[in-house]
Structure 1
Amino acid sequence: MRIAEVPMSERSELTLPDGVRLHVEAYGPADAPLTVVLAHGWCQDRRTWKHQISALRVLGARRPRVIVYDTRGHGRSGATGLGGATLGQLGDDLAEVLRRYAPTGPIVLGGHSMGGMTIMEYAHAHPGEFAQRVTGLLFVSTTAEGHTHTQYGLPARIAALMRAGETLGAGVLARSGPWRPHRAVLPALRPAVRWLLFGDDYDEDALDLAMRCFGRASLRSIGAFRSSIGAQQRLDTLTALADVPATVLVGERDRLTPPACARSIAEALPFADLRVVPGAGHMLPLERPHEVSAALTAIVERATPARRPRRARRTTSALKKAA
């Protein structure tokens, strides 16, 4: 499977209130009836959504505007300070993206992993805006309960030791500044990333892209977001969104956000459609792009406002005859 070719985008930068610059890309017509905003996961970037951006092009007149961006400290966006490396800040960043790039009209939000948690934070901190604008949700390989269900596919004792080591290492990386992982280190990390993020059947191109994204994340971002991600609890927030149509996708062999995470999200959202993808891991947008694209397309089609048919104008004489 080859990584999908993505059409040319409109690229720009958004300067946030604390001075951090976000790299933002927009696709599709500016006057589209609906806007889709996609948020990527921890240590990844906007390229995670390449297949889905391409898939939405085929909707013709109902094609949405698509906005993707690199989270602070990731991809082409600017570095973040330690104080800004929280999910709460990412929720506020998403609010700024929406105000700048989708100020009016209905919105569909999609989030992978940390991106899904970002959407939950946006809903929690900006409930009025969310209720007024959001007409559809796609949660992919994410959780609303921090590391509650994360066992890395290992026995409980070993998982606890691994989490302790991960937490300690994250603290060290958080203080390592805005530098990125050295290229020479990435090949050595590849087997661990493959085991942690991918399931039984994966494509080398997908793993290559995941590794390139990982190489663009700053050491501070790799470490500093860990604490906030592990502590988040937002099931109550999701319960308040019960009337929003949603789809929740998870890989059967996801070691980071296992199916238990997706089930709790779906239970909090009565109108959610839960799908467990057999044999798949954590990187569903790259690992199972067709399933994710189909789910997103279905949400977009359902959320797009119907175009009213044009009525032929009736002349005064015709009206008199009808009378």
Structure 2
Amino acid sequence: MTALQVKNVTTDDGARLAVYVREPSADPSGTVVLGHGWILDHRSWLPVVDRLDPSLRVVLWDQRGHGRSTLAGGGHKVGDESIKRLGRDLSAVIGATVPDGEKVVLGGHSMGGMTIMAYAGVAPDEFAERVRGVALVSTAAGGLRGTGRAGEAGLMAALRHVPFRLGRAMTEKGQRRTAFGKGARPEDVRDATRIVRGTRASVLGGFYGALMKHDEIASLPALRSVPVRILVGTRDLLTPHKLGDRLAQELPDAELTKFDGLGHMLTWEASDDVATAITTLAR
């Protein structure tokens, strides 16, 4: 089990972000900063963190409104949430946890990958100064269309005003069908479902709108100056692998890896491969 130190970072709009740091067991070889996806929290990265080189310092955080982090003003009322706001949050996390002058490797799963793209867009000069490599896992620069279920957009808009946690409305069967691919381990599905159940319905609804509006194609040129790994599952129903193809087209020097039959949750389904990609970028 990974031992993490916990601290809080307050953003310029008053959100309190819970940040978790794994200190290296030997002389540090670098720092990795990892962002999680929609309605998850930092724990979704732990299967990967456990497999990273122990000489790496690892920084994780709960995205605003997720896990132990608040929304703007320190509360839990959903406002005008956006992926660009998450990019500014990432800047705050790096500024509070990484010494000036040190370059980091960024890893982002799903909405966490979108956060990295937004960071490159809102702070391109800082991105160039602070980032040495990027791993984009099960993510997209735009073009999201939801699941296509009838009434989905209306339901999500209504959930913005529901403060309760999702709880048992989110089932293991539903997570396995929607988020995982073939051969998912029951314990992985169980862990993911446990995290999702702890998320507020208002966050599910509020960030759905942000994801549907997400378009960071214009930010991608900033990523062309660093090594990039793109990892996607061919059975990803949330960020279909064709969107990974589009990322690779926009980032022609990036290395694209597709995992046949795997789904959206590659931090569980392909944790060894994701850890290897990040460790390679950090060398």
> Shorter-chain TM-score: what band?
over 0.9
Is residue 114 from structure 1 mapped to residue 108 from structure 2 by the alignment?
no
Residue 97 of structure 1 is matched in structure 2 by 93
Match of 2:70 among 63, 78, 85: 78
- State, as a whole percentage, how many aligned pairs show the same letter: 36
User: SS at the partner of 2:28?
Assistant: coil
Q: Distance in 2 between matches of 1:295 and 1:57?
A: 11
CA positional deviation for 1:169:
1.0
Q: Distance in 1 between matches of 2:269 and 2:137?
A: 12
Match runs of 1:62-211 below 5 Å: 63-79=55-71, 80-83=76-79, 85-104=81-100, 105-147=102-144, 152=147, 159=148, 162=149, 164-177=150-163, 179-182=164-167, 184-186=168-170, 189-211=171-193
Q: Distance in 2 between matches of 1:146 and 1:101?
A: 32
Q: Which amino acid aligns with 1:144?
A: A
Q: Distance in 1 between matches of 2:174 and 2:17?
A: 29
Q: Which amino acid aligns with 2:69?
A: S
Q: Distance in 2 between matches of 1:208 and 1:269?
A: 35
Contact 1:252 1:281 in 2 (8 A): yes
Q: Distance in 1 between matches of 2:222 and 2:123?
A: 12
Q: Report the count of equivalent residues.
A: 277
CA-based RMSD: 1.7
Residue 317 of structure 1 is matched in structure 2 by none
Contact 2:48 2:268 in 1 (8 A): no
My pick for the range that moved more, 197-206 or 10-19, is 10-19
CA positional deviation for 1:192:
1.8
Q: Deviations over 1:66-118 (max 9, x none)?
A: 10011111112224432252211111111110110013201110000000001
CA positional deviation for 1:201:
1.1
Structure 2: segments with no counterpart, 5+ residues: none
User: SS at the partner of 1:85?
Assistant: coil
Match of 1:269 among 246, 251, 262: 251
- Output the TM-score relative to the length of structure 1: 0.81
Q: Deviations over 1:204-237 (max 9, x none)?
A: 1111111111012111111001111112111221
- Output the TM-score relative to the length of structure 2: 0.92
Contact 2:44 2:268 in 1 (8 A): yes
Match of 1:24 among 14, 19, 22: 19
CA positional deviation for 1:33:
4.3
Contact 1:46 1:75 in 2 (8 A): yes
Structure 1: segments with no counterpart, 5+ residues: 153-158, 302-323
Q: Deviations over 1:28-49 (max 9, x none)?
A: 2497342110000001110111
Residue 226 of structure 1 is matched in structure 2 by 208
Contact 1:28 1:57 in 2 (8 A): no
Q: Distance in 2 between matches of 1:131 and 1:216?
A: 36
Contact 2:52 2:276 in 1 (8 A): no
Q: Which amino acid aligns with 1:218?
A: R
